[in-house]
Structure 1
Amino acid sequence: MLLFAGLGNPEPTYERHRHNIGFMVIDALAAHYTAPPFRKKHKGAISEIIIGGEKVLLLKPLTYMNLSGESISDAAHFYKLGGDAITIFHDEIDLAPMKLRVQKGGGAAGHNGIKSIIAHLGAAFPALRRVRLGVGRPQSDIKENVSDHVLGNFSPTDQDWLSPLLKALCEYAPLLIENRDALYQTRIAESLKPLKQGDV
């Protein structure tokens, strides 16, 4: 059993925010792999799918971003999952839109959701897989501008790459099950190249 968690904020007003791209991935996976309806458990919304013969729990923490670790650690402890069974999908301002990086552990780099997960998972965090999804930075790095950026909606033109990205994240998910992280990243990047929104 594996756990795929996406980070975001639960209220409808946040639904299209850049900060909620993790939730968008989980919803896309649920639709792509025909998940049953989400139910409230482990301080989040949870469902399950089968990818490549492996049961995968889908989790959207309902604690709000800054307390995401509470929900993820609760689910991990309940199902007795180590860090190597957990994948987190989250926004990354240090990557340009449409870029992604897959890595194990690492630092929070100012991301409060990741800070919370580090605090709650402790020694298990370095083995955890992160799929960092680029949303870019605002022109000014003033703290207020960065906050407004991630808590702003994706623009209508962003949909030109966002929808294909979500589709690719789902289609190539079996590579994550096989622990072929580098190939997962490469395949998605290759699938997005025709969009010509810049290097991926």
Structure 2
Amino acid sequence: MLRSVARQLHTISVDNGKPPLLILASIGNPESSFKGTRHSIGHYILNRLKHIYQADEQVTIDKNKFHCNRREQPQMLFYQSNSLMNLSGKPISKAFKSVHKWTDEYNPVLVILHDELDCPVGKFKTRRQMSSHRGHNGLRSINQHMGGGFTTISIGIDRPESKSSSAVANYVLAKVPPHDLDRIDRTIPSIQKTLEDMKLGKFIFDTNPNYKG
């Protein structure tokens, strides 16, 4: 069933010149138990960006809670998944579809913030729609529920020396060390610049050239 749903979602394309509405969504683990861990660095970045954009007002759309800055043109909605990382697909899909039904003035596009083992601490990568999940279970879950029509901002957390599954699990579930957090903080202005470009339509409508359709 999940595969049939995923096949129904195509890549997001420009819709009659409507301006994009960025749904900036973070995936990780529930902060009640996992706040500050490497696997939830997407939540940390989302909260920092909410502060920068003064997105302090909550709006509920079909029971999904978003934050935004109502004082400015609403080109960004901030959404934090409240599920475990491996189950990200269901809440992200529901939130994304609710915004599609909510507005006909904008072209909603989904941008996922997540941790990236294959990227050094203090770096980030932007990947286009229909890119591989590269073994990331959160992205895999989103793909299963709604297809690959989303852009990602991958925040580097580096890898442990050991490649064993237990070593990797312990690494991503450990707290981010203060010196690593300082390096991650220094990437935020560049991430914000990327978001400003996305608000103008850059990156978000691009598709991975290796995607076969």
What TM-score do you get using the length of structure 2 for normalisation?
A: 0.74
Residue 66 (structure 2) aligned to one of 33, 46, 55: 46
Alpha-carbon distance in 1 for matches of 2:133, 2:146: 13
Which one has a bigger Cα radius of gyration?
2
Aligned-pair identity (%)? 26
Aligned to 2:8: none
Aligned to 2:69, the other structure's residue is in SS state strand
Aligned to 1:113: 138
Contact 1:44 1:62 in 2 (8 A): no
Amino acid at match of 2:139: I
Contact 1:49 1:55 in 2 (8 A): no
Alpha-carbon distance in 2 for matches of 1:143, 1:174: 37
Amino acid at match of 1:89: L
Which segments of 5 or more consecutive residues in structure 2 lack a partner in the other structure? 1-20, 205-213
Contact 1:2 1:56 in 2 (8 A): yes
Alpha-carbon distance in 1 for matches of 2:194, 2:71: 10
Change in CA separation of 1:80 and 1:161 when aligned onto 2, cut-off 3 Å: same
Contact 2:123 2:184 in 1 (8 A): no
Aligned to 1:146: 168
Residue 128 (structure 1) aligned to one of 144, 150, 170: 150
Contact 1:46 1:59 in 2 (8 A): yes
Residue 87 (structure 2) aligned to one of 56, 64, 67: 67
Q: Where does 1:154-169 land on structure 2 (aligned, <5 Å)?
A: 154-169=176-191
Change in CA separation of 1:45 and 1:18 when aligned onto 2, cut-off 3 Å: farther
CA RMSD of aligned residues (A): 2.8
Contact 1:19 1:91 in 2 (8 A): yes
Larger mean Cα displacement after TM superposition, 47-56 or 11-20? 47-56
Aligned to 1:188: none
Could you tell me how far 1:73 is from its partner in structure 2? 0.7
Deviations 1:65-124 (A, max 9, x none): 1111111110111121799711001101011111211111312222111011001112xx
Larger mean Cα displacement after TM superposition, 69-78 or 51-60? 51-60
Change in CA separation of 1:49 and 1:64 when aligned onto 2, cut-off 3 Å: farther
Greater RCO (Cα-Cα under 8 Å, separation 6 or more)? 2
Q: Does 1:88 align with 2:112?
A: yes
Aligned to 1:179: 201
How many residues get paired? 179
Deviations 1:35-93 (A, max 9, x none): 12557777865212379844211111112111111111101111217997110011010
Contact 1:101 1:131 in 2 (8 A): yes
Aligned to 1:133, the other structure's residue is in SS state strand
Change in CA separation of 1:38 and 1:154 when aligned onto 2, cut-off 3 Å: farther
Aligned to 2:127: 103
